[in-house]
Structure 1
């Protein structure tokens, strides 16, 4: 009996891993619309809540370890912790799915199509906290190449995409489970998908108000501070006639103001290219702390700056360093904590306003909304994934820019020191894509936009609603259990 139980639990692990194939690099985006069905069936057929808990836990652990396989060699002792946390996060989904789908009727299926997506989105919102690693691996990000489905992100962000994908999976699961609700489940899945597709087809295209010609410099990994700086300067001189030349994260591993002639060389490069140059400084600042800073140089010198605000846990700082620093020494964690910046910035490039972000910050949709509200006509991300060269991390970060562009209603440009550079317009249409093994300069005409999408205006209303629905469902379940227990106590003894 226990052999069969663990074989089924192994299938739960496999079902969690299956969903990873919907993300880049495989990029089987269509798989997301049915990839949860095997897990939902396993949860529905679990013989008890305890078994559903186990299956949900194992599926979550499988998903997280498969999705983040590229980071496991760098985290050492944290790898089992990653699997444990990922598994625990999926436990609520597993338990709720079992309770709602074990005997699916039309009413219970309709309830499941609201509650289960809410639980899913609530869990995604919790794990997207910056100190837990940020918004990597959100289900809605799988839809980056799928216009017009991607258009839904303009209404409710990546969260609304994830919500409807789970709802369709619930309908399909009901359609394959035994019971009287099969036809209802199939109709539910088809109806939700048709609504999403219809919105994308009927939504008016955003109208550009102008354009900006952007050159991205991607030299690949260049070791040595002076060598890296020089390589960027040489490529910049080739990118003549653009509005702005963008370098990747940590492209300048020293403060130019502290190096004789560095500022003069940047001014000369900007003059030769006849454009502004955005460099990224990863160096110790005047206060003695290391900061990552976007610096905008023109022929006349420094014109604007932005300091990275959200730092990579363990990569750029160590939470609870006095407790964890010694345990994790030698695993590639940050030897010294970087200092976070304090405020957003808008850089003026000609008549346009560009909203700068740095690498890890690209995964947070709220930062784009903030920049749009401050007047950004487009967003620019300076990135670097040198530690994960050749892994799925690079296309995952680049593809997320398509979703961020549709959410914010602004074109998004990502320039990597070493990674996959990309650019997308406000519809999510790909304008540029430079894989990590390519070196040199790419040039793209980036449309500029104004106005605000519903998501920019309304914010994270989908996670807020998801938390409310999840809390209401939990309260209802507790009330039903309390009434059942009270009825049992009042029942007169037999005989």
Structure 2
């Protein structure tokens, strides 16, 4: 028996240089697996620095580069998928780190589940940029990889998966050119731009033969952004409204609901003789159903008469006419509640309801998950005041959803209002980041937006998304009046909606079609017939 016919080993083969090698391949070395895994986690977390409080908006255009460099160098597609998942875990946990006091260990479970959405994106980076791709393939990556990232953002924007918090495009809330892009294609178009620039930078750093193509792609991004800034249609200016925001501050413990209401009354009275058109209170500013407590309704009506303006409060209470607890925007005039009421439709997972409570109810024992599910409203509401002002209210979490503000504007809202409360996360990055979402919603729709909170940050943005006046920080208990310019007409995004998302879907569909045609044109491999052994063998 020849020496190479040993148990468990295949016959040796000759290399081209004549030396022999056994047919059994050795496992790939794993010495770098753990450092790469840690690097993927950290690289995925880097984009958190682009959001407030750090607010390094410019870093967004290179924040994905370390992660993408790691993915393109993955030895196998399976490894790229793993590092895509690990980077996604790092991203989710970092962007939602302020939830840790409420969710505790469940934030890791959440990150592990949502991180799976980046698994195919990791493979896509390796397929398009790994090795030495052709110039057309590298150039295609500038369109395909942003489209793939956008599909991840779209999937996790579903309310049940946490909603559209931490969309990469929202990091550009204070950049005028980016806000102009948002008016064309929403925050989705801004995300496409940011990821396209990151992809171009990776090509510049790693593919010398494709650098000219990458420079052309980056130049095209700059030209398109500049054209949007210069020529995108602007909403026509209308009159100015004087909007007052009342922020009572932090009240905790027994009796905090009544203390908060009393402080709201005190601050509202200071607005007398300020000629305001509307007074806005924050989320959960009233803890009693106004139908069941006519005395509380009478107190707020007295405020309306005192300041000669309607008061938009937010009631967080059990309804007397329907079962369950609702969070509702209620308009109160000099004669009491007007009947204009909006019940919150999209609820915060675990904060206001527990998804699949029978299965995940244990979350209430390890964190501050909702002990009882809040009830949902059924439709958006545009209110109308005697002075002609038409506010469209949203409640807290809902200001993160581009489609909700767009729907209100198409229904005739002239002013968007978000009533919010982030006091649970008072000392985190959450209040500041939440307030900036209103800038995107204003720019997308061409309507000013008021973000009114209980404990800060309260802020106001004009129809172009630019901030008006000074915000009320988390250290303030105050009332402030803002001169808010109104606008007419619809932005391209308000008119045409999520066309940037459909464009990204079309790009990915073209990629799949091209790969399908390529695989059909590839010749079938020839079948090798094993040679019969001779008697001497």
TM bin (shorter chain):
over 0.9
2:488 counterpart of 1:460: no
* Aligned ranges 1:166-245 → 2 under 5 Å: 166-223=195-252, 224-240=256-272, 241-245=275-279
Matching residue of 1:348: 384
Q: Distance in 1 between matches of 2:435 and 2:313?
A: 19
2:325 counterpart of 1:290: yes
2:181 counterpart of 1:144: no
Q: Distance in 2 between matches of 1:23 and 1:127?
A: 18
Matching residue of 1:316: 352
| TM-aligned CA deviation for residue 467 of structure 1 | 2.6
Unaligned 5+ runs, structure 1: none
8 Å CA contact 2:114, 2:161 repeated in 1: no
Cα gap change, 1:45/1:179 in structure 2, threshold over 3 Å: closer, same or farther? Answer: farther
| TM-aligned CA deviation for residue 475 of structure 1 | 4.8
Matching residue of 2:372: 336
Q: Distance in 1 between matches of 2:153 and 2:405?
A: 18
Q: Distance in 1 between matches of 2:363 and 2:41?
A: 29
Match of 1:437 among 475, 492, 503: 475
Matching residue of 2:159: 130
| TM-aligned CA deviation for residue 494 of structure 1 | 8.0
Match of 1:100 among 122, 128, 134: 128
Structure 1 stretch displaced more, 6-15 or 406-415: 6-15
Question: Secondary structure of the equivalent of 2:245?
Answer: strand
Matching residue of 2:146: 117
| TM-aligned CA deviation for residue 45 of structure 1 | 1.5
Matching residue of 1:58: 86
Match of 1:470 among 490, 497, 508: 508
8 Å CA contact 1:175, 1:184 repeated in 2: no
8 Å CA contact 2:234, 2:446 repeated in 1: no
Question: Secondary structure of the equivalent of 2:209?
Answer: coil
What TM-score, normalized by structure 1, do the two folds share? 0.96
Matching residue of 1:18: 46
| TM-aligned CA deviation for residue 352 of structure 1 | 1.7
Question: Secondary structure of the equivalent of 1:253?
Answer: coil
8 Å CA contact 1:314, 1:333 repeated in 2: yes
Measured against aligned partners, the alpha-carbon deviations of 1:338-390 in whole angstroms (never above 9, x if no partner) come to 11011111112311211111001110010111111111111011000011102
Matching residue of 2:309: 275
What value does the CA root-mean-square deviation take over the aligned residues?
1.8
8 Å CA contact 2:103, 2:363 repeated in 1: no
Q: Distance in 2 between matches of 1:53 and 1:435?
A: 42
Measured against aligned partners, the alpha-carbon deviations of 1:56-106 in whole angstroms (never above 9, x if no partner) come to 111111111111110022113422212212321111111001000012332
Match of 2:454 among 409, 413, 417: 417
8 Å CA contact 1:119, 1:470 repeated in 2: yes
Question: Secondary structure of the equivalent of 1:278?
Answer: strand
Q: Distance in 2 between matches of 1:428 and 1:397?
A: 14
Q: Distance in 2 between matches of 1:494 and 1:116?
A: 44
Match of 1:49 among 44, 64, 77: 77
| TM-aligned CA deviation for residue 491 of structure 1 | 4.5
Matching residue of 2:343: 307
Q: Distance in 2 between matches of 1:26 and 1:226?
A: 36
Q: Distance in 1 between matches of 2:146 and 2:154?
A: 12
Match of 1:372 among 402, 409, 412: 409
Question: Secondary structure of the equivalent of 2:32?
Answer: helix
Cα gap change, 1:287/1:203 in structure 2, threshold over 3 Å: closer, same or farther? Answer: closer
Measured against aligned partners, the alpha-carbon deviations of 1:222-249 in whole angstroms (never above 9, x if no partner) come to 2322211111111111112211110000
8 Å CA contact 1:168, 1:190 repeated in 2: no
Question: Secondary structure of the equivalent of 1:236?
Answer: helix
Matching residue of 1:79: 107
Unaligned 5+ runs, structure 2: 1-28, 532-537
Q: How many corresponding residue pairs?
A: 493
Cα gap change, 1:343/1:394 in structure 2, threshold over 3 Å: closer, same or farther? Answer: same
Question: Secondary structure of the equivalent of 1:313?
Answer: coil
Matching residue of 2:445: 408
| TM-aligned CA deviation for residue 197 of structure 1 | 2.5
| TM-aligned CA deviation for residue 15 of structure 1 | 1.5
| TM-aligned CA deviation for residue 178 of structure 1 | 3.3
Matching residue of 2:63: 35
Measured against aligned partners, the alpha-carbon deviations of 1:299-324 in whole angstroms (never above 9, x if no partner) come to 12212211111111111111111221
Question: Secondary structure of the equivalent of 1:108?
Answer: helix
Q: Distance in 2 between matches of 1:164 and 1:281?
A: 40
Bigger Rg, which one: 2
Question: Secondary structure of the equivalent of 2:450?
Answer: strand
8 Å CA contact 1:219, 1:418 repeated in 2: yes
